[in-house]
Structure 1
Amino acid sequence: MRAVVTGGAQGIGAAIVRRLSADGARVAVLDRLVAPGQAVADEVGGSFHAVDLVDVAATRAAVDAATSALGGLDVLVNNAGILRFAALLDLDPDAWDEVMAVNARSFLVTTQRAARTMVAQGTGGSIINLASMAAKAGGAGQGHYAASKAAVAALTRVTALELGEHGIRANCLCPGYVLTEMGAATRTAEDVATWSSYSPLGRLGEPDDVAGVAAFLASPDASYLTGQSINVTGGMVMH
């Protein structure tokens, strides 16, 4: 298995890189964080490709370089994302555009590049997009973030519909509260305790919780699963 993971330098992305590698995949990491991205790639014996996913041309080039390094492509994991907060009435359109560019538009660009390779190979493939429970539940102060993640879910469904004839599956994951570097500066111990109470399991997620589901979607065990938005929320969202 040959896999490209965007945003693989830390957090959920790094956990997915490690899990796929442990399952026997060769992995290429795309990220704008050079030092940690290279470290994760070195750890699993993969390749690292520095890229700012806001730059469309650079994104296309990075996917092509990663695919070349792997000698083909079977799995694309679109994990990269940014989290921003703003009250709806104060939300700056430029901030909206930034979040949409990273969290949604880059998924389109990478998918287009990866899918062409998968179609040419003729052996199918799996595209796994990281959305969020915000795609289904929203979140006060997250107008741009929630909208971008809802866009990911919609893009996933369209991808599944259009590429299924080529044996390419597309699914997205909707994690809940996961303890990663993203948002660490804005959360308190009280926040963690409150959020944990929302789950019937009484805890927040860990990156490995999400990585395990991603590994399943990448595997032949998920060969009849496509177009789905799968909650990884500890029961916080059940629809």
Structure 2
Amino acid sequence: MPAGKESRTVVVTGGTRGVGAGIARAFLRTGARVVVCARRPPDRPVTAAGRTARYVPVDLREQAAVSELFARVAEEYGRLDVLVNNAGGTPFRPLGAADADRHARVIALNLLAPLTASLAAYPLMREQPGGGCILMTGSVSGTRPSPGTAAYGAAKAGLHSLARTMAVEWAPAVRVNTLVPGMVRTESAHLHYGDAVGLTAVARTVPAGRLAEPDEIGAAAVFLASADAAHITGAELLVHGGGERPAYLAAATANHEEPPA
């Protein structure tokens, strides 16, 4: 039988801040044992509902370190129920402003690291009663042009494809799904969207009228990892507030003249 909520073990990569911390908090509220990993420790412990996530330092681009992480989880907790491959990100960098090596580092973090972590987690999940669940944190950048973050968008597109294939190859023991967030109000949102005025302007482009909160991404992750989603695998869940209004609509509205009364 699948592990109960109170006994589930969840690993969230990049779970020390931003979207990852929101996901970790959401699982803490279910009573799960949550391990967050990143290269640097969180500024403050990740907590929710009187519970605290355990931090383990890991460079997810180092295969040996990743293997050691999951061996440690197996030894100390006895099972791994959910892996959330959330670690990733990118600076704003036009393609011509950097060499191929810098772009390759972005791809390594956003595509190869989730692959490495998933391959390390899979043997643990497939052998345990109830199997397991792997969640990828994708992005709308992987579904549309991504000027200034081209390598990131390409990596996320690859991640979406990887998850769909994993879902087929690893069924039925392991379910694999992808969260596809749009713009999220994190502590580093200003680096991409500007100051408060810029954030307000950007929020107006979202049909829902605002950016998502990290804990809302977390709520979607908890659902996909739950028994309620037992028949959902190989899917992509859009959490983007309706996406983006087409630019042509704004242009058409700006040039629209009211008919005479």
- The TM-score with structure 2 as length reference comes to 0.84
Residues 48-92 of structure 1, C-alpha deviations (whole Å, 9 max, x = no match): 210111212112212222333322111001111122222223342
Structure 2: which 5+ runs fail to align?
1-7, 246-261
1:52 aligns with 2:50: no
2:178 is the alignment partner of 1:169: no
Letter in 2 for 1:134: S
**Matching of residue 184 in structure 1 with residue 225 in structure 2:** no
> 2:52, 2:229 → 1: CA distance?
26
1:159 to 159, 163, 166: 166
Q: By how many angstroms is 1:162 displaced?
A: 0.5
Match runs of 1:6-17 below 5 Å: 6-17=13-24
The match for 1:117 is 124
Tell whether the 8 Å contact from 1:83 to 1:182 is kept in structure 2 after alignment. Answer: no
Structure 1 gap ranges (5+): none
Q: 1:115 and 1:182 mapped to 2: Cα distance?
A: 32
- 1:121-140 CA-to-partner distances (Å, cap 9, x unmatched) read 14221111101110112321
The 8 Å contact of residues 7 and 13 in structure 1, kept in 2 or not, is answered as: yes
The letter of the residue matching 1:132 is: S
Aligned pairs, number? 236
Report the aligned-residue RMSD.
1.9
Residues 182 and 239, structure 2, Cα contact 8 Å, conserved in 1: yes
Counterpart AA for 1:153: H
Matching of residues 1-239 of structure 1 within 5 Å: 1-36=8-43, 39-40=45-46, 44-166=51-173, 168-186=174-192, 187-236=194-243
| C-alpha separation in 2, matches of 1:91 and 1:116 | 38
TM, length-normalised to structure 1: 0.92
In 2, Cα distance between equivalents of 1:22 and 1:31: 21
User: What is the deviation of 1:35?
Assistant: 4.4
Of Structure 1 and Structure 2, which has the larger fraction of its residues in helix? 1
Looking at CA atoms only, which structure, 1 or 2, has the larger radius of gyration? 2
Identity %: 36
1:231–1:237: 8 Å Cα contact kept in structure 2? no
Task: Write the distance in 1 (CA, Å) between the matches of 2:85 and 2:124.
Answer: 16
Amino acid at match of 1:121: Q
CA distance in structure 2 between the aligned counterparts of 1:226 and 1:182, rounded to whole angstroms? 31
Does the aligned pair in 2 maintain the 1:29–1:41 contact within 8 Å?
no
Q: Distance in 2 between matches of 1:111 and 1:233?
A: 25
After the TM superposition, which of the residue ranges 178-187 and 206-215 deviates more from structure 2? 178-187
Deviations 1:81-125, CA, capped at 9 Å, x for gaps: 122222223342111111111111110111011111011114221
Contact 1:8 1:79 in 2 (8 A): yes
Post-superposition Cα deviations, 1:140-189, rounded to whole Å, max 9, x if no partner, equal: 111111011111101110110111132x1100111111011344334233
- Worse-matched range after superposition: 46-55 or 123-132: 46-55
